[in-house]
């Protein structure tokens, strides 16, 4: 079967389209994680900062484009989005956001146990256990979507 994902113009398979049932399950999981984060008291901008930071680390242009727009819609500032890659070097993020970002980075590298220990210690100072769990789930979920988009070669279109 030939479609827009095959041939010389796009040599990769859009795995979300090729396996829609699996992708729909990921979307349902993502919706549950979003509800979990809201229920734990993580605001939408914190969730989008985590989505963006993990997408930056994974080099996922598609998710960076999508979640930049979502963050702006949620009221995030261009300044904070611009300095997000260097979040540790600024004072523009709240303690809750900083803890969530540190957890996100530690979650994204499962082999760095020192980073995980440090992230948990910092998070326990400002986040509830429900918020810690939710932040980790947000990072896990966006990481999975990053891999779908990177392996599929999802394009970013000029807005």
CATH code of the domain containing 118: 1.20.1290.10
Alpha-helical segments (H) within the chain: 15-18, 20-40, 44-58, 61-73, 78-83, 95-108, 113-126, 129-152
In a domain, 15, yes or no: no
Is 9 inside a domain boundary?
Answer: no
46 belongs to a structural domain: yes
- Pick the closest to residue 159 from 93, 73, 87 (CA basis): 73
Helix (H, G, I), strand (E, B) or coil at 156: coil
146 neighbors 63 (Cβ within 8 angstroms): yes
Q: Could you give the CA distance from residue 60 to residue 146 in angstroms, rounded to a whole number?
A: 6
Q: Which of 103-107, 124-128, 154-158 has the lowest mean pLDDT?
A: 154-158
17-51 tens-digit pLDDT: 999 999 999 999 999 999 999 999 999 999 999 99
Is 157 contained in some domain?
A: no
pTM of the model: 0.92
From CA 130, how far away is CA 30, in angstroms rounded?
17
Q: What's the pLDDT score for residue 11?
A: 84
- Indicate whether 9 pLDDT > 80: no
Domain contains 11: no
In-domain check, residue 101: yes
| Rounded Cα–Cα distance for residues 136 and 134 (Å) | 5
Determine, yes or no, domain membership for 42.
yes
Does residue 144 lie within any of the structural domains? Answer: yes
Burial code (b: 16+ CB inside 10 Å, e: under 16) for 134-145 equals bbbbbbbbbbeb
């Amino acid at each position: 079967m030939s479609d827009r994902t095959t041939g010389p113009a796009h040599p990769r398979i859009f795995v979300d389209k090729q396996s829609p049932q699996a992708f729909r399950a990921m979307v349902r999981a993502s919706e549950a994680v979003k509800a979990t984060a809201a229920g734990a008291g993580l605001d939408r901008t914190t969730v989008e900062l985590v989505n963006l930071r993990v997408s930056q680390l994974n080099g996922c242009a598609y998710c960076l484009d999508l979640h930049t727009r979502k963050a702006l819609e949620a009221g995030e500032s261009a300044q904070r989005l611009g300095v997000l890659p260097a979040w540790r070097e600024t004072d523009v993020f709240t303690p809750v956001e900083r803890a969530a970002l540190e957890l996100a980075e530690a979650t994204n590298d499962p082999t760095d146990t020192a980073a995980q220990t440090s992230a948990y210690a910092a998070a326990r100072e400002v986040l509830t256990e429900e918020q810690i769990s939710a932040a980790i789930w947000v990072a896990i979920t966006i990481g999975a979507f990053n891999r779908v988009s990177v392996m599929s070669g999802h394009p970013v279109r000029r807005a």
